[in-house]
């Protein structure tokens, strides 16, 4: 199943775990979204795009652009 998920992600890199799960169902695999998400996390196959529902365009994540925010506990 890992090979099938990898091939789906290579063919369509904008697919997240939900669409990958649906594509696996179309290919005859009987699995749920939790297993697909776990496999994708373990093999470092995250989704790199998302849809802006206001404009309808497909955007990509730029992880290097977003700084890590450190929270401090002040009372």
Query: How big is the CA angle at 25 (ends 19 and 26), to the nearest 5 degrees?
Result: 90
**What pLDDT sits at residue 26?**
96
Task: State pLDDT tens for residues 37-57.
Answer: 889 888 888 776 656 667 766
d(CA 56, CA 48): 16
Ranges of residues in the chain with a pLDDT under 50 are 63, 65-72, 74-75
**What pLDDT sits at residue 32?**
92
**What pLDDT sits at residue 71?**
43
In Å, how far are 10, 44, 45, 67, 71 from 14, measured between CA atoms?
9, 14, 11, 23, 31
Give this prediction's pTM: 0.64
């Amino acid at each position: 199943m890992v090979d099938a998920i990898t091939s789906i992600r290579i063919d369509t890199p904008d697919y997240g775990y939900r669409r990958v799960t649906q594509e696996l169902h179309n290919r005859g695999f009987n699995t749920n979204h939790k297993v697909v998400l776990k496999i994708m996390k373990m093999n470092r196959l995250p989704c790199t795009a998302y849809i802006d529902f206001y404009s309808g365009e497909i955007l990509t994540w730029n992880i290097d652009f977003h700084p890590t925010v450190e929270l401090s506990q002040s009372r």
